[in-house]
Amino acid sequence: MTVGVAIIGSGNIGTDLMFKVVRLSKTLRVVAMVGIDENSDGLARARRLGIPTIHDGVDGLLRMPEFTDVELVFDATSAGAHARNDALVRNEGRLMVDLTPAAIGPYVVPVVNLDENLGATNVNMVTCGGQATVPIVAAVSRVAPVAYAEIVASIASKSAGPGTRANIDEFTETTARAIELIGGAERGKAIIVLNPAEPAIVMRDTVYCLVAGEVDEAAVRASVEEMVLAVQDYVGGYRLKQHVQFDPVDEPYVPALDRPFRGTKVTILLEVAGAGHYLPEYAGNLDIMTSAALRTAERLVLARAGVSA
């Protein structure tokens, strides 16, 4: 079976997602590509692929005859635009996969909590930093109590478009909440760094977890490595940069916790390279978002049809 989908947003994320659906998915087919700039590269490429396009945003999508074949809509616009897009799309009975930080629906990281959200009509893909690091926090927390987790996502400036730059605050807030809600940390914090280095750097992520009490290092290491393999199933460029690190902590006061802490700091260093479907290899931050969205959408439409993955 193949299910018709539409993509709202013809920028970098929407265009890369379009190519992923066309090239990789046996479940989905793009029947409409929607933007607001008639001359955008994304709409031009869609037209060359024979995909119907419109440049009147979500209102135009609802008028397209192809909309009758749409069962799921990807929103790759902005947090500000998503509320209206979501209301109109779900009012028409369609599923919504949200690639903005709007977080109207539940946060979803495919390898961690997709199964429990297969009945949702709107799911939020958190952020690029969240998709890269929440699985790692979850891997640690399933074998050890994580009192605090902090992530630092460093991405190439060239891979941060206007949507990313306009939503920096939402990025940090949404990622921190996901670290707690999905990752299982008591408290979470997220930092994003836009690195202007030339040549452009591949996405790098550092995950710090403060684990109380004794730590079974072998169990933590095995859990992290297992999670990395699970993410690699849909993000081929995702990998550990080096072995998991363990450092003892015995401090009379830790500001992040507002209390004394004795235990272990677990440090995990990651790298995420893009697949090069539309974007350069260094844009792993965008690639992990579109890859996660594709995996999520495939599972959602199969679940709605009563087909097991």
Phi-psi region of 235 (alpha: psi -120 to 50; beta: other; left: phi over 0): beta
CA distance linking residue 129 with residue 146, whole number of Å: 19
Query: How far separated are the first and last CA of the chain, in Å rounded?
Result: 12
HSE-CB at 265 with a 13 A cutoff on CA atoms is: 13
Q: Which two tokens stand for residue 278?
A: 């539309």
The answer to whether 263 touches 213, Cβ cutoff 8 Å, is: yes
- Orientation angle between helical segments 41-48 and 12-24, nearest 10 degrees: 20
Say if strands 28-34 and 53-54 run parallel, antiparallel, or are unpaired. Answer: parallel
Beta-bridged to residue 188, according to DSSP, are: 149
Per the omega criterion (within 30 degrees of 0), is the bond before 135 cis? Answer: no
Q: Which one of 128, 151, 203, 292 is the catalytic residue?
A: 128
Output the six-digit token pair for 41.
Answer: 């590269």
- 209 assigned to active site: no
Q: Provide the b/e sequence for 214-231 (b: ≥16 CB within 10 Å).
A: ebeeeebbebbeebbebb
Residue 114, helix vs strand vs coil: coil
Q: DSSP for 199-262?
A: SPPPEEEEEEEEEES---HHHHHHHHHHHHHHHHTT-TTEEESS--EEEEEEEEEETTTTEEEE
Q: Which residues participate in catalysis according to the annotation?
A: 128
